[in-house]
Amino acid sequence: MDSLVSGSSLPVDPSKLSDNDKKEIQQFVVNETQKARIQQSIHSLTDMCFRKCITSRISSGSLDRNEESCTQNCVDRYMDANHTILKKLEEMRTLG
């Protein structure tokens, strides 16, 4: 893992890239950033939902039916909560 970080200079001299390449890379970075953000949300949702849904003693390697549906609900309710907050804030903004 250190080898990735230690040679931290990029393998590319930007002046050698064509305008088309630059454009393509720019789009690529936008996409990768969004992917990373989504992946980050998945990590923190899993963290939270595991805590809430996998509460009994661990005696098997797979999720049982309750754990599975609890985890699905956990994600959906979190998203609902998120929307509720945004809606409420929007209300406060237009009223205030």
Q: Does 13 bind other proteins (CB under 8 A)?
A: yes
Give dist(CA 14, CA 10) in Å, integer. Answer: 9
Question: What x/- string results for residues 19 through 58 when contact with other proteins is judged by CB under 8 A?
Answer: --x--xx--xx--x-xxx-xx-xxx-xxx-xxx-xx---x
The residue to which tokens 């949300």 are assigned: 41
Whether residue 48 contacts residue 74, with contact meaning beta carbons closer than 8 Å, is answered with: yes
What whole-number distance in Å separates Cα of residue 44 and Cα of residue 51?
11
Contact residues: other proteins, CB under 8 A = 1, 3-4, 10-13, 16-17, 21, 24-25, 28-29, 32, 34-36, 38-39, 41-43, 45-47, 49-51, 53-54, 58-63, 67-68, 71-72, 74-76, 79
